[in-house]
Structure 1
Amino acid sequence: MKIRLWNVGLILLTLLFAGLFALFASAVQHTRELTSQLKPPREASADKTARIALIAQVQNNPFWRSVEEGAASASERFGMDLEYMGPVRIDPAEQTRLLEKAIAERFDALLVQGQSNAANARLIDQAAARGIPVITVDADEPGSARLAYVGTDNRAAGQRLGEYVVRSVGESGKIGVLIGSEANNQQLRLAGFRSVVERYPGLTIEDVRSSNISRLQAEEQAEDMLRSHPELKAIIGLSALDGLGIAEAAKHLKADGLLVFGFDDPGSTRQEIGSCQIAAALVQQPNRMGEEAVTLVHDYMQGRKPTEFHYTGTTVLDRASLADAQDGTQAVAPTERCR
């Protein structure tokens, strides 16, 4: 009996020590992570070139290729290596996997799009804990340990586009909206746009749909929207390929009176504006985003911590601005541009 009690006591004592050791190991790991966050930014050694990963939302999207060009230009200027990667089609899960892979490969800095989800934020925090600075580009990841955000002030951009639309459409009527996805930047643009429309009781947003950052899906969604709401005066696209898709839908359905508004300047946007298929587009500065993001990384590695937000500007592209660029003619009012 005594032997049995002795054995039970030994087992309990062993379990107690195992538990205490596990708690000790966890505390040590936590302390290491906290200590790594307090370390100064890692500088590439004299014989090591800093490697930066740029993870795009969609690899071959014109917007992200422009971000890449700006980032590549700055990387070359600072003697850094840039590696560009991204999903072939929009796939947030694949973006997250690429971020995880880049952290494991110990890149010296990461440029990523915020996705407004916990998994993405955790990985950004993990990178920061390992001393890898992360810059969010195009869409932010609020609440994460990212070093800074570089891109459009998306709420302000939505407001600016809304004000232009109201001047063009008028203060009454029904309009539709396409967003590219549920990403933070798209939601901020939509919120900014709504804040303007809500000032006018006679103007209503009848339908909001997602194009999934696809020109074809933008066309399909716009066609369905027009069939469901033939009285729409305008459809507004808030991601890069929406305007072109909406314009194609309007051609198919012969919706000649529909005003189309887009975002950015991919493909044949300028030609479509020139022929009045698109009334206007609000254009971001993706090239500058990439260049500024890499510049912030370089400055950080030199010991200069950046401010949190770096907003790049937007411009309105319409027939008047195209004419101004060509021959300096005076701009006309929005309502005179495409009727």
Structure 2
Amino acid sequence: MSRLSIMAYSFGILFFLVSCSFASFYGYKVVTHDLPKEEKTVEKYNYHFVLVSQELDNEYWRLVEKGARAAAKQYGVLLEYAGPKQANIEDHVKTIEMSAASKVDGIMTQGLSDEQFTPLINRVVAKGIPVITVDTDAANSKRLAYIGTDNYYSGYLAGNALIADTKGKANVAIITGSFYANHMQQRVKGFQDAVKGEKGIHIVTIQESEISRVKAAEKANQILQDHPEVNAFFGTSALDGIEIAHVVEKYKKQDQIYIIAFDTLPETLDYIRKGTIKATVVQEPYEMGYKAVKMMIDLREGKTVPPIVHTDTRILRKGDLPVNYHVRLEVNR
């Protein structure tokens, strides 16, 4: 092979090797740029709070949860929503105890019973975990604040509404969510005090629904059978009024029986539009949840919060109800 041929051959090999090197280099760059490294995002939270409800899937408490989650998202809080699947005071107590044992930064809950909740809340606060009561107060405990309805006043409003709407003449049956729960007791007491001066109004019976749709319907049905003189109902929990209305419609007595309910769940509003429920007590569960989280943050940061914050309470009738009432509430949130 001539010297010239050898040089050409060597140059060809060198060119090939250099080309491969460049191809490998650029190929590597393309791969690394096209396939970015996996990044694990660990979300950081300022605080860890627990909201303990009376009944986990209760529609009213889901609205409280919705408000609490909105505030938690805004202020960087890890929020857990917990509680018994069905209203049960022992399970409720256990949930609070477990939350305290996990050393969360704050607990928001109802103060359902003085006998069981006052010492429980006192023990939790003694461990350095602040407690705010929501919807139902435990006024004799060491809870740091309460936010929610003035339940006595709400019952009193309901009584005055019934007086006005029935012109002071009615035989009333009350179905209440719970005989032991403070807020239900206060609503019944407020209602009783409002109507006690009216000679034409008689409270015939008071029954307990145990925060159960089925029980509320059973009680309403039994009342209509046992007390045919009853021509008015007061339901003190969100589900009571709905099930009373359902039973009254079943008997086709919606034009003969006056119903005043509690809260503005979609079904309640539908019954008001139809005229089966004549009035309802409006609470602000979303606001309770939202402000409870904000108050807990203030407490953790050493700020002073008012011991009692009463959210708005009013009476709603069909004439007060725009067609898009429920939608409007959601938009305003």
Query: Is residue 251 of structure 2 the alignment partner of residue 253 of structure 1?
Result: yes
- Label 1:173 to 1:317 Cα distance change in 2 as closer, same or farther (>3 A): closer
Query: Is residue 106 of structure 2 the alignment partner of residue 147 of structure 1?
Result: no
Equivalent residue number for residue 195 of structure 1 = 193
Equivalent residue number for residue 126 of structure 1 = 123
| Counterpart secondary structure, 2:321 | helix
- Give the whole-Å Cα distance in 2 for the aligned partners of 1:164 and 1:115: 26
Equivalent residue number for residue 11 of structure 2 = none
Deviation of 1:320 after TM superposition, in Å, equals 0.2
- Give the whole-Å Cα distance in 1 for the aligned partners of 2:67 and 2:45: 23
Deviations 1:82-107 (A, max 9, x none): 00001111111000000010010000
User: 2:114 is aligned with what amino acid?
Assistant: N
Equivalent residue number for residue 230 of structure 2 = 232
Aligned residues: 280
- Report if the CA contact (8 A) 2:209-2:216 is conserved: yes
Equivalent residue number for residue 112 of structure 1 = 109
Query: Is residue 51 of structure 2 the alignment partner of residue 54 of structure 1?
Result: yes
Deviation of 1:48 after TM superposition, in Å, equals 6.1
- Label 1:274 to 1:324 Cα distance change in 2 as closer, same or farther (>3 A): closer
User: Which of the two has higher C-alpha Rg?
Assistant: 2
Deviation of 1:172 after TM superposition, in Å, equals 2.3
Q: Which runs of 4+ in 1 moved over 3 A?
A: 323-326
Equivalent residue number for residue 330 of structure 2 = none
Query: Is residue 178 of structure 2 the alignment partner of residue 181 of structure 1?
Result: yes
Q: 1:78 pairs with 75, 88, 98, which one?
A: 75
Q: 2:65 pairs with 68, 86, 96, which one?
A: 68
> Identity percentage over the alignment?
34
Query: Is residue 307 of structure 2 the alignment partner of residue 308 of structure 1?
Result: yes
Deviation of 1:248 after TM superposition, in Å, equals 1.1
Question: What TM-score do the two structures reach when normalised by structure 2?
Answer: 0.81
Moved more, 264-273 or 217-226: 264-273
User: 2:198 is aligned with what amino acid?
Assistant: Y
User: 2:291 is aligned with what amino acid?
Assistant: E
Deviations 1:239-296 (A, max 9, x none): 0101110011112222231111110022411111111111111111000000111111
Equivalent residue number for residue 274 of structure 1 = 273
Equivalent residue number for residue 42 of structure 1 = none
| Counterpart secondary structure, 1:158 | helix
- Give the whole-Å Cα distance in 2 for the aligned partners of 1:117 and 1:173: 33
Q: Specify every segment of 5 or more residues in structure 2 that has no aligned partner in the other structure, as ranges.
A: 1-43, 326-333
- Report if the CA contact (8 A) 1:154-1:185 is conserved: yes
- Report if the CA contact (8 A) 2:45-2:76 is conserved: no
| Counterpart secondary structure, 1:177 | strand
Deviation of 1:142 after TM superposition, in Å, equals 2.0
Question: What TM-score do the two structures reach when normalised by structure 1?
Answer: 0.80
Q: Specify every segment of 5 or more residues in structure 1 that has no aligned partner in the other structure, as ranges.
A: 1-46, 327-339
User: 1:291 is aligned with what amino acid?
Assistant: Y
